[in-house]
């Protein structure tokens, strides 16, 4: 599966938590403690959104059916995206924190599924090996990617891999059904779908657990000294999604739209154009080829 939430170090803004971050205490500059808490909470608020664009919904966009065993392969070029508003840490003392960015954060990727086992009759226990390479843009204001992450030019590269297991091959009105998991992170999916002459449809549910071991913010707390505040957020989110695919000769045009559940993280100050408790819309569009 394409699940690979690699290390993101994001300097972004939000509202202070009810419980202030103790690492932000005792900063001598006026307003610096509030700005530090704002940046910390911004990372915590935005982290599951960043995870969502690098995971997406369906691990094989537009279908729930296993590939069919050895000799079968699908390749998809897709772009995931999620609507996000990044609060401005320089405005931490305002009652409503304005946004420094408000728009869609994209993540282009290439993913593949290779048939390993055909499975039993009806598609039970068919196995596909899943893999993907994601390119994360680094030119977004107030967002930086860990310098140790693999880079191609000005973009960071993430590699993911996993496995998909067939439950049913399906045949109208019975859907094809499969389940999948990431072998590098805690991401799980169950997808059902139907295949028609020119159209594929699929729908699924999933759970993601986003965890970082190297997320922090750094800033000058003196003329020559730099303070590092370690955050390492952990978030669990449920999601639902629907897919569609349209046959165009040898390829399929495939798309996805879904919702990631929100969560009350006890933020005190209001966000401008962003509600961390609300569900967040994500989507994807791509071209799939298979044989």
Domain definitions of the chain by residue range: 8-290
Would you say the pTM of this structure is higher than 0.85? Answer: no
* 172, burial (CB in 10 Å: exposed 0-12, middle 13-18, buried 19+): exposed
Mean pLDDT of 100-118: 91
H or E segment and range at residue 120: none
CA separation for the pair 150, 58 (Å, rounded) = 25
The per-residue pLDDT for range 26-61, each reduced to its tens digit, is: 787 767 777 887 788 788 888 899 889 888 999 999
Per the model's pLDDT, the better-predicted residue between 133 and 203 turns out to be 203
Phi, psi of 138 (to 5 degrees): -110, 5
Whose CA is closest to 256, among 239, 273, 241, 268? Answer: 241
CA separation for the pair 280, 265 (Å, rounded) = 15
Mean pLDDT of 237-244: 97
What's the fold here for domain 8-290?
Lipocalin (2.40.128)
Polymer length in residues for the chain: 291
CA separation for the pair 193, 64 (Å, rounded) = 5
CA separation for the pair 206, 58 (Å, rounded) = 9
Q: Name the band, by pLDDT with cuts 50, 70 and 90, for residue 2.
A: very low
The percentage of the chain sitting over the pLDDT mark of 70, rounded to a whole number, equals: 86
Q: Is residue 85 over pLDDT 90?
A: no
Q: Name the band, by pLDDT with cuts 50, 70 and 90, for residue 191.
A: very high
Both tokens assigned to 76: 């998809």
Contact by Cβ (8 Å): 191, 178? yes
> CA distances (Å), 64 to each of 2, 48, 157, 165, 191, in order?
15, 25, 26, 10, 5
H or E segment and range at residue 26: none
CA separation for the pair 194, 243 (Å, rounded) = 10
The per-residue pLDDT for range 121-156, each reduced to its tens digit, is: 888 999 999 999 887 666 665 556 666 667 676 677
Give residue 189's pLDDT: 98
- 197 Ramachandran zone, left/alpha/beta (phi>0; psi -120 to 50): alpha
CA separation for the pair 60, 47 (Å, rounded) = 24
């Amino acid at each position: 599966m394409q699940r690979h939430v690699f290390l993101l170090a994001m300097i972004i803004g939000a509202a202070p938590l009810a419980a202030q971050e103790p690492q932000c205490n005792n900063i001598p500059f006026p307003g610096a403690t509030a700005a530090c808490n704002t940046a910390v909470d911004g990372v915590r608020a935005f982290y599951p959104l960043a995870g969502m664009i690098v995971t997406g919904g369906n691990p094989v966009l537009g279908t729930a059916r296993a590939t069919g065993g050895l000799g079968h392969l699908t390749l998809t070029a897709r772009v995931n995206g999620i609507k996000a508003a990044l609060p401005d840490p320089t405005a931490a003392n305002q009652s409503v924190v304005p946004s420094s960015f408000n728009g869609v954060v994209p993540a282009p990727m290439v993913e593949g599924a290779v048939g390993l086992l055909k499975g039993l009759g009806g598609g039970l226990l068919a196995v596909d090996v899943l893999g993907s390479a994601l390119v994360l843009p680094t030119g977004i204001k107030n967002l930086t990617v860990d310098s140790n992450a693999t880079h191609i030019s000005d973009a960071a590269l993430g590699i993911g891999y996993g496995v998909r297991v067939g439950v049913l091959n399906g045949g109208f009105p019975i859907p094809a059904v499969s389940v999948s998991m990431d072998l590098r992170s805690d991401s799980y999916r169950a997808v059902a779908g139907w295949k028609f002459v020119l159209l594929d449809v699929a729908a699924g549910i999933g759970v993601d657990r986003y965890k970082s071991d190297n997320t922090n913010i750094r800033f000058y707390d003196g003329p020559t000294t730099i303070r590092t505040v370690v955050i390492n957020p952990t978030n669990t989110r449920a999601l639902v999604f629907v897919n569609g695919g349209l046959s165009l000769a040898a390829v399929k045009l495939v798309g996805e739209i879904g919702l990631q559940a929100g969560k009350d993280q006890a933020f005190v100050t209001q966000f401008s154009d962003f509600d961390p408790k609300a569900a967040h819309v994500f989507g994807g569009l791509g071209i799939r080829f298979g044989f």
